[in-house]
Every structure is written in C-alpha cells, then in structure tokens.
Amino acid sequence: MGKVGAGGGSPARLSALLAGAGLLVLCVPGACGGGSCCPQLPPGSAPRWAPTSRGFLRQGPRGRAAATPLPLLGRPLFAVAPGDRALSLERVPGTGASVAVAPRSGRRRRSEADPGKAERGEGASRSPRGVLRDGGQQEPGTLERDPDKATRFRMEELRLTSTTFALTGDSAHNQAMVHWSGHNSSVILILTKLYDYNLGSITESSLWRSTDYGTTYEKLNDKVGLKTILSYLYVCPTNKRKIMLLTDPEIESSLLISSNEGATYQKYRLNFYIQSLLFHPKQEDWILAYSQDQKLYSSAEFGRRWQLIQEGVVPNRFYWSVMGSNKEPDLVHLEARTVDGHSQYLTCRMQNCTEANRNKPFPGYIDPDSLIVQDDYVFVQLTSGGRPHYYVSYRRNAFAQMKLPKYALPKDMHVISTDENQVFAAVQEWNQNDTYNLYISDTRGVYFTLALENVQSSRGPEGNIMIDLYEVAGIKGMFLANKKIDNQVKTFITYNKGRDWRLLQAPDTDLRGDPVHCLLPYCSLHLHLKVSENPYTSGIIASRDTAPSIIVASGNIGSELSDSDISMFVSSDAGNSWRQIFEEEHSVLYLDQGGVLVAMKHTSLPIRHLWLSFDEGRSWSKYSFTSIPLFVDGVLGEPGEETLIMTVFGHFSHRSEWQLVKVDYKSIFDRRCAEEDYRPWQLHSQGEACIMGAKRIYKKRKSERKCMQGKYAGAMESEPCVCTEADFDCDYGYERHSNGQCLPAFWFNPSSLSKDCSLGQSYLNSTGYRKVVSNNCTDGVREQYTAKPQKCPGKAPRGLRIVTADGKLTAEQGHNVTLMVQLEEGDVQRTLIQVDFGDGIAVSYVNLSSMEDGIKHVYHNVGIFRVTVQVDNSLGSDSAVLYLHVTCPLEHVHLSLPFVTTKNKEVNATAVLWPSQVGTLTYVWWYGNNTEPLITLEGSISFKFTSEGMNTITVQVSAGNAILQDTKTIAVYEEFRSLRLSFSPNLDDYNPDIPEWRRDISRVIKKSLVEATGVPAQHILVAVLPGLPTAAELFVLPYQDPTGENKQSVEDLEQISELLIHKLNQNSVHFELKPGVQILVHAAHLTAAPLVDLTPTHSGSAMLMLLSVVFVGLAVFVIYKFKRKIPGINVYAQMQNEKEREMVSRVSHPESRAYIPQTELRRPGQLIDEKVECQLIGE
C-alpha cells in the first residue's frame, strides 16, 4: 500500500502525503463543533476504518494489519486498484487547512521550535525516555561519539525542476480528487468540489484534465455539462483509460463514462442511487453496484446497462469470484437477509441470478455481517449457545469448523491475512480485553497454532478494532508487532511468520553520532504500527516491494512504546539494525523503486524544501521544489516505473486556489544504472542467512552512484537451505516448551485418529511439528519432523453424538430437520449406523461418509421425540440419544371461565389453544390480587375467590419463542340468579359467530330488558354465547351502592327475576336488528348454576324447591338411562369478553361448542323441564 504521512500539531494545518496507493481523503474533523465535517466517502471507497461489529477483519494489501472488515479492505480505496495514483483533498473553509482521514499511522507530533532550525536539521539534543545518553562527561569504557555513524545533512540548497499550475476559479472548493493512472501515461484528472458543511452536500464541482504530466490543465465542465454537479471519480483497475464519474444523487442519478482517459464522456441515467461499486479483478467491463436501498446490481457493459441481482444484500458483503478458485468468473458471492431478518450466504451468476439458480454453499443461516471471500478462502460465523463458531471453506470445498486450541474460547476474531495459502488471524480470548493473540493456520485454514500472545489493540476513529501488526513488504514471512508485557508495549519482529520473535535493537548512536546506551532486553527500539485514533497525530511506517531491505518508521527508544519523544528511524538491512534520521516527524516516500528516499516535514507552516537521500537514509540533501512557500495538502507519486514525476498539492494562502506543483526528479540522476552500479546484499536475521528456508541475495545500487534504476529486478538469486528445527512450528494440539520441544497440550490426545480413517487405509501421524507454510527448506530434519503415513488400526466407535444442524433442540412440524451424526473415533468406512427418529421411522447407513450432509427428516406430529443412533463395527458399538421437541406455531389463546361465580366456590379456568396441539407449553397464570404468578404445564387450573367484586384473570402461554396471552373478568357474589335466553330463529341468519358481534348484541339485549322492565342496569348482565342456535345467559346480580348500604336481599332478587320472566313470557322484550328485522327474546331454562347448600339457615321454601329439582333430576336420569333424547337442552361453557380474534372450530355451526372441563358439566339431576322457574343460587 502507499505511504501516507501527515503533520501539524495545530488544528489549522495538517499535511498528508501519498505515494504508491489509491486515493487519500483529507478533511477536517471537529470543524463543525466537536464532530466531523468530513462528508461520506465516495461509493466504492468503503471507509478505510469503518465501524464494525465483531467478526472477521483484515489488513490491507500491504502494510499494517488494521482490523478493518475484510470486504472493505479487500477492495482498494475508492475502488482504484493498487498501483493507481489518486488523491482526495479537503480544506477547512476560510482557513486553507487540510487534514487527513485516510489510512495513516502515527502519534502526536511535538511542538515546534524554530522552524528554520528544524528544516536545517538543527536543534537541542533530547533524551528519549529510558535511554542513557552521554552528556559530555563520558566515563571510561563508554561509547565515544562516532561522526561516521551520524546522519549527515547537506545544507547547501539545491533546486528541483518544477512547474506550478493554479486551478483558477476554484478557490472556494474545499475538496479535490486526483487520479494519475501511471504506466507512462501523461494524463492526470482532478475533480474539485465545494462541500457545504451546513447542507451536507456538494454545491459546485469542476473537472480538470492534464495531458502533459501536470504542467498544464484544461477545465472540462462544458464537456460534462455546465450544470452537472459531480460527486465522485472512478477508474477501471484493469484498464486505466476507462473513467467513470458519478453525479450528485440529490440533483440527478447519472453516470458519465469515458473510454479515452477522460477526453470525452457519455451520460447514462440510473434508476437507483449508487452507494458503492466493485470492479471485477479481470474483466474490465464487469461492475457490481450496491444501491442505497440494499439492492445489488451488475453491469457487463461498464455501467451502460444494469441488471438487478439480489435484494436485501448486506452492505460490503458481496464479492466477485476469485480466479483460480471459481470456475465461473461471473460468479458473485453475497450475504443476503431473509424476510425474517436472518442472513444467508448465496452465490449466483451475475446475469442469471434467479431463485432457481441461486446456491447456498453454507447450510442454514449465518451471523449477520460475517461473510468474507478472500483468495482461496470463504469465512462465515455462526453463534450458538452464546459462543461464536467460525467456519472456513478452502477452494470452495465443504465448510469445516476452524479449530483453535480447545480452551481459547474466542469472543472476537479478525482475519489478518490469507496470503500464500495460509490464514493469519487475531483472536481475542475469553480472558483478554485490549489485546489479541495471533494464530496461524495450516493450508486449509482449519487448524490454528499460536504465533504471538497479547498483541496490542485499540479503537479506531470510528470505533473499529485496530491490531498493532505490520507486514513488511517485499520479504515474505516478515512482520512487526507491538506486544503488551506487564502493561508495557514493546515492538517485536519475526522473519518466519511468527515462529520466532525478538525485540528491535536500538541504534548505537543518535542523529549526531552521540552514543546511545540501550541494552536488550531492558531497552530497545519501539515503532508505531497502528493508525492513529486522532486525525491530528501522525507517525508512519513504510516499506515497499521494490525496496525489500528498507523500512522507515516513527518511534522511540526506551523500555516501552511512547507517544512522546518521537523520532524517525530507518533500517536498510530489513530490520536488523536501525538509524535515526530525523528528530521530528516527516513523511518519507520511495522514489525510483526505493533507490531514493524523499522526506517532507510535518508542519503547520508553509514550506518550500524537501530532503533526498541516495544512500538509504545515511545522508540527506536539501532541495527546494517551489520558490514560494506552500501550505502542503498532499503529495502524489507517479506510478510508472521510469517516469520520475511527483505532484505536490497545496495553496499559497488560506484563500488562494489549489496550486499543483509538478516536480520532475530526472535532473538529479546522472544516467541510467548499469550492472557495475550494483552490489549484492544478502537477506539475514542477526547473521542467520536462511530465512524461510532459503538464502536470498538481492542487488542494491551502490550508495555513491546517482544513477536511475528503472525497473525493479528482484532478487539476484535464491538458494534453498537444509531444513533445521527452526523451519518447523508446533502442530495443532502441541505447545512449545522452554527446551524448544513441541509437546502435547493437556487437552489434546495425540493418539486420536481422524474420523475419516478406515481399516486398511493410511493417515498422517503427526510428529508434533509442521513446516512453516511457504518455507522452502529441503532435506535435513525434514523427514524427521514431517508427519508419517501410518496404517489405520481398527477401532471401536467412540464419542458418538447426534445433534441438529443448527444446534437447536426444536423442530417445526411439517418441516425438514437436519440431524448430524458425529463420531470422534472409529472405522467410519466399515460401520453400520442405525437412526431411529422416535416416530416409528428408522433408517440405516453403511458408513458415516454417506451422512456428511446430514440426515433430513420431517415430523408430522408434535411432541417430544427420542431420537437414537446406534453405531456398530466389528470391534464394538456406541449409541447416542437426542430428545427433540417438535412444535407448530401457536396462533391464538382463549381463556374459558364462567362470567359469574359465588364466593368461596371453586372455579375452573381453561386456556383453549389454536391449534390445539403445538408441543411443549408453559402456562403462566395471574388471578385475584396475587402478585406472584402460578406456573403450570397444564392448561387448566382451579381456584376460589373469598371476597365479592370484579376480578381479572390472565393466562400467558409460552411456546418456543412465542408468548400469547388472554385476559378475562369474572364477577364474584354471594348469591345471584341465572337464566337462559333464546331468540327468534331469524337471528341465526345474521349471526357471524364472532366475539365483536356477540358483545354488541349483548349490549342491545341488556338495553331492551332495562327498557321493558325498568330494572336498573346494575342488576343485569347479559352474555351471548358462541355457536348456533343463538343463545344468551342472563344474570340477575345483587347491587350495593358505593356507601355499602342498600344491598338487595334474596327477596329483592326474586322479585327482579319474577319481573324479568314475566316480561319475557309476555314477549315484551324485543329489539330491531336492522330496519324491518325484529328479534324477540324468550326465557329458555335455568343454567348450570351452583345449587344452594342444605343448611338450617335456608328457608323451608328453598328446601322444597331443592327437593323438586332433585325429583326432576331423577326423572331425567331414568330417561337418560333409556337413551331418550330430550330436545332443547344444551351443555355449554360460559364465555365472556372474548378478544377480537376467536378460535375457528373444525366442526359446523350447529355442532360448534367450546370445550369445558368435566367439573362444569351439569349432572342429569341438575336438568330441569321446560317450565321456566327461577332458582336461588348461593349460600
């Protein structure tokens, strides 16, 4: 990736430089009152350090391993391929200041002293924390000052060839995007914009084009439309001549396309708003577009026509197929949300993504925002039982669960790298808070071993996780990491992909050659590897593929990494030794394939000088690149291999136009380099020449030669080394002990065999070691440490388990449930497996391999089923049991209980369900004044009320994740009268048998009774019953005024009842249902109300009435015994206050009756004849 730097301790100024990368965004955080005024990044850019949920993240193509979501960093910034040169700039309105929010590393710079001294390399000597520096009084035996080791600065001012061009008329514009495709192209495109912070939108734009490497520019507003406002600029990564411009969507949604490097454009209207773009890595015309309404579109004509692929796509979770891993180059991988909010992994063809053509490579759902497709690997995450589980597919084969050490128990994981057929991951384990452990995998990405513990992490500017890990460019297997030890952060380096780590040796002398006393391990060099959380701080680390030995970074010398006393350091031997090059922060860029280093100081002041080094930072020469000091906003390096041109962007004053300074470095070279201008240099680690199993010799230009290198030649030669123990890491399940041996961890059983191992076959028996991936060593101890093929011994089945594919113990009636049979040990090819589903169905399999995709079964009934699996082979057997709860969705709950009851009388309440069979249920009851609920597994309860009044009863029914409830009110009195009512037959024609209709008719009947009899409404309660023919229950209730006086007696209730019956018998009670439809109300018979108690307190008339009822009951009982049918008698349950929805009965209307408990049914002795009489109820 590119080299980005920034400077300026003042909020008014921050300069940023870029070389060798895509686009850089500069804006002003905090300029709008504490927040960030930075506009949203352009579509396709995907904010470099975007906030993320916990999941898989990774670093960029090269450089520090930022824990940024893989789909974001998997694409070059602003959708421009690596090797492009582009820059985005932004200035603070009214100040001219520019700041950077693009990927940048670093810390806060120190306050400046005399700017002149700083630029001349002068200043007072400072002592970094933890470093002993000679103060002029040297003791015997201490280091003497060594002028040869001091960094030399040539103060004579030299002049670089440069030209300046002003973008006239754009002084108000505060943003700029610059593209230089390189490859010896002379075309540069610049899009400047005026971003209104108050409106949050772009109000003006200008497009500029240069055809002479930036010497002059032409304004192209008339070619794209004078009223057209452009928002973003794109370049095809595989054909830099193809340019795409996006208009501001608030005005119009259009694309402007050019096929001749921006000379001419064609406009195409869009019917959607683009949020991000993804270009195909090989096909120049293939593009994926993600819209603001979460739809994914594809174009095979470079945006001229679009086709919808999928709706509900998760942002930044869509990928092109990786060439080599996918046979179809037009295959698209994406994560989509279902209508119920779940996420699933889908693949389909870009031009044929119908429902029938979509594939689901991972069975079931995945965690939201977790799909990653990177190189040969696909990663997904699935949380079950409160723990995240990670799955990987290598080369698009079946997914396998990623295996970390048994008790790592990860709570967060970030994929750092998938280079060279290996996964590098950072894992936060259960006992870590601000650190991560680094793990490295085998080739398939399944088995992981520990590489480094307690790597420092931090939160990025958007709240995302940043891992302090940096991959050095140009040398495979070389990483730098900041590790936390006893609350101190120290920098470590590895040359063999984490197999061995060591501290960095501090320089022997400082900038002026004074000795530095820094002894390992108490004192060492520490470097800043992470992107700063504060955009006003800086601190860079940079390396380049074409200069594999050179590393430039900011840091400090001492016992730990510090945010103060930051200096710039360089290593010209791949991290073995370091030199201090500046005492203040600079941005250092690589020129001429790393043959020349260019340094520009971080400062809030205008500058006109920079520093060049031809000898890898040992000496620096001062050059002026402009005659007038310039506030530097950014630097763009040309990507071509031989065109040594750099463009500096800035302005002369706070209100001036953008100034573009084209700097041509050709004049500093005498000639092109010849073979005799180079010397050999061997890569090594503290003298050890074998790095990753090979000796590599590179050629470097001799420091005294000022010739131009041109194309990078790479290593001169590479020779494999003889394998030693250092080329092998511990295998999965093994840990390295203090004696260097890899021994089994306490939780690992080395004798456990692969479940795929069958008698007569072979398996690889680990020695406890595995060769570091990409290590090229040969012979030596290779045979001794390599896993050995071994015949599979026959083994009895052991460790048998049966689970559902989704890890749940529930299944839905009528739907497929997938059962997985897992076996730790046993001859899987010669094993008989029998599965009994517990519902009368059983199946058999001859080996486990035929069950890899699981066993699918459909249960047609609800209940708890005992699923058993039996595994047998010639050496033994094993069995396992799974208790599976099969349910169906609960749709409705109805609480059935009487409308009125007597005090101290047992009442039955029943929860009636639809559907009636839904599986295992839990009932929660609240009644009376109880504050604690009653929880039962049965749908009926009995209870008593000890006081009069209105009482509320609520039942909640829990079925799986669904909870439904119903609430009813019951009246409690010591005594009351109950009478059955019937109606004119024509009422049945208008009875829809729904709760709302019954409530309304009950109200009308009560009103008619009050009008016909003059009885106060407080004495009457009417409830129309469900079903046909239409019937109702009339309750005559006692009434007590609020003072507690004037309570009616039994005689009063008798008088009211006689009056009601009299009016009913005279057909005096009627109502009009609708115009012309009269309904007559009749008295039918007494209901199943409680009989009175036989106690001396009752009157003789009551006793006679009771005896009469008993006599009639006996008569009916005789009739019942002879199976005589008595018409007009109904057994029913009292129902009242139904909810708006009612259960739908499966029987016809005449047969529809609600179910009631047996205790509510009337005995034959309670039945009465058709003569209507009133009955006293109560004690």
| Per-position DSSP letters for 822-868, written without gaps between them | EEEES-GGG-EEEEE-SSS-EEEES-GGGGTT-EEEE--S-EEEEEE
Q: What share of the chain is helix, strand, coil (3-state, %, to 5)?
A: 10, 40, 50
Q: Whole-model pTM?
A: 0.70
d(CA 572, CA 549): 5
d(CA 243, CA 185): 14
* Range from 182-186, 287-291, 532-536 carrying the lowest mean pLDDT: 532-536
- Token pair 């500058």 is at which residue? 607
Beta bridge partners of 869: 835, 880
Mean pLDDT along residues 120-141? 34
pLDDT at 281 over 80: yes
Instruction: Please give the single-letter amino acid code of residue 799.
Output: G
pLDDT at 121 over 70: no
| pLDDT at residue 290 in the model | 94
CA dihedral angle for residue 805, residue 807, residue 812, residue 816, rounded to 10 degrees = 0
pLDDT at 1002 over 80: yes
What is each CA distance from 940 to 540, 601, 890, 923, in whole angstroms? 73, 82, 17, 9
pLDDT at 64 over 60: no
* Eight-state DSSP code of residue 607: B
* Range from 239-253, 341-355, 1049-1063 carrying the lowest mean pLDDT: 1049-1063
Mean pLDDT along residues 4-26? 30
- Residue with the bigger pLDDT between 428 and 655: it is 428
Beta bridge partners of 255: 246, 268
pLDDT digits (tens, 9 = 90+) for 520-542: 999 999 999 864 443 323 447 88
pLDDT digits (tens, 9 = 90+) for 682-730: 999 998 999 999 999 988 888 888 888 877 666 678 899 999 999 999 9
pLDDT at 32 over 60: no
How do beta strands 609-613 and 619-624 pair?
antiparallel
What separation, in Å, do the N-terminal and C-terminal C-alpha atoms of the chain show? 93
| pLDDT at residue 1038 in the model | 85
| pLDDT at residue 1153 in the model | 35
Please report, rounded to a whole number, the percentage of residues in the chain having pLDDT higher than 90: 37
Instruction: Count CB-CB contacts under 10 A for residue 396.
Output: 18
Instruction: Kindly indicate the confidence band of residue 632, based on its pLDDT and cuts at 50, 70 and 90.
Output: confident
pLDDT digits (tens, 9 = 90+) for 1035-1055: 988 876 655 555 667 778 888
- Token pair 């520090």 is at which residue? 64
| pLDDT at residue 325 in the model | 58
d(CA 58, CA 48): 11
- Token pair 């003006």 is at which residue? 204
Instruction: Kindly indicate the confidence band of residue 155, based on its pLDDT and cuts at 50, 70 and 90.
Output: confident
pLDDT at 171 over 90: no
Residues 6+ apart with CB under 8 A from 884: 804, 809, 810, 811, 817, 838, 859, 864, 865, 867
Instruction: Kindly indicate the confidence band of residue 226, based on its pLDDT and cuts at 50, 70 and 90.
Output: confident
d(CA 686, CA 699): 19
pLDDT at 1167 over 70: no
Residues 6+ apart with CB under 8 A from 912: 893, 894, 895, 896, 939, 1143, 1154, 1155
| pLDDT at residue 343 in the model | 94
Instruction: Kindly indicate the confidence band of residue 1099, based on its pLDDT and cuts at 50, 70 and 90.
Output: very low
H/E stretch holding 349 reads strand 343-349
**Whether 247 contacts 256, CB under 8 Å:** yes
| pLDDT at residue 1111 in the model | 53
| pLDDT at residue 450 in the model | 94
| pLDDT at residue 1113 in the model | 55
| pLDDT at residue 314 in the model | 95
pLDDT digits (tens, 9 = 90+) for 829-879: 677 889 999 999 999 988 766 677 788 999 999 889 999 999 988 888 899
- Residue with the bigger pLDDT between 242 and 635: it is 242
The structure tokens listed for 187 are 């075309």
| pLDDT at residue 837 in the model | 94
pLDDT at 123 over 80: no
pLDDT digits (tens, 9 = 90+) for 633-665: 888 876 655 668 888 888 888 778 889 999 998
| pLDDT at residue 806 in the model | 77
| pLDDT at residue 797 in the model | 84
Instruction: Kindly indicate the confidence band of residue 761, based on its pLDDT and cuts at 50, 70 and 90.
Output: confident
| pLDDT at residue 828 in the model | 65
Question: Is 119 in a helix, a strand, or coil?
Answer: helix
d(CA 577, CA 511): 14
Instruction: Kindly indicate the confidence band of residue 35, based on its pLDDT and cuts at 50, 70 and 90.
Output: very low
Ramachandran region of residue 63, left (φ > 0), alpha (ψ -120 to 50) or beta?
left
Using alpha carbons only, give the angle 213, 218, 220 rounded to the nearest 5 degrees.
125
| pLDDT at residue 150 in the model | 66
pLDDT digits (tens, 9 = 90+) for 601-627: 888 889 999 999 999 999 999 999 999
Mean pLDDT along residues 810-816? 89
Mean pLDDT along residues 1124-1142? 34
Using alpha carbons only, give the angle 313, 315, 319 rounded to the nearest 5 degrees.
75
Question: Mean pLDDT across the chain, nearest whole number?
Answer: 77
Mean pLDDT along residues 1063-1086? 87
The structure tokens listed for 156 are 């004579």
| pLDDT at residue 560 in the model | 95
Instruction: Kindly indicate the confidence band of residue 1085, based on its pLDDT and cuts at 50, 70 and 90.
Output: low
- Residue with the bigger pLDDT between 154 and 388: it is 388
| pLDDT at residue 719 in the model | 92
| pLDDT at residue 182 in the model | 67
Instruction: Kindly indicate the confidence band of residue 135, based on its pLDDT and cuts at 50, 70 and 90.
Output: very low
- Residue with the bigger pLDDT between 939 and 1049: it is 939
* Range from 3-17, 437-451, 736-750, 860-874 carrying the lowest mean pLDDT: 3-17
Q: Which of 303, 362, 359, 302 is nearest to 332 (CA)?
A: 359
| pLDDT at residue 1150 in the model | 34
Q: Which of 57, 620, 81 is nearest to 372 (CA)?
A: 57
Instruction: Kindly indicate the confidence band of residue 380, based on its pLDDT and cuts at 50, 70 and 90.
Output: very high
Instruction: Kindly indicate the confidence band of residue 323, based on its pLDDT and cuts at 50, 70 and 90.
Output: low
Mean pLDDT along residues 591-606? 87
| pLDDT at residue 1093 in the model | 31
d(CA 54, CA 1): 25
pLDDT at 734 over 90: yes
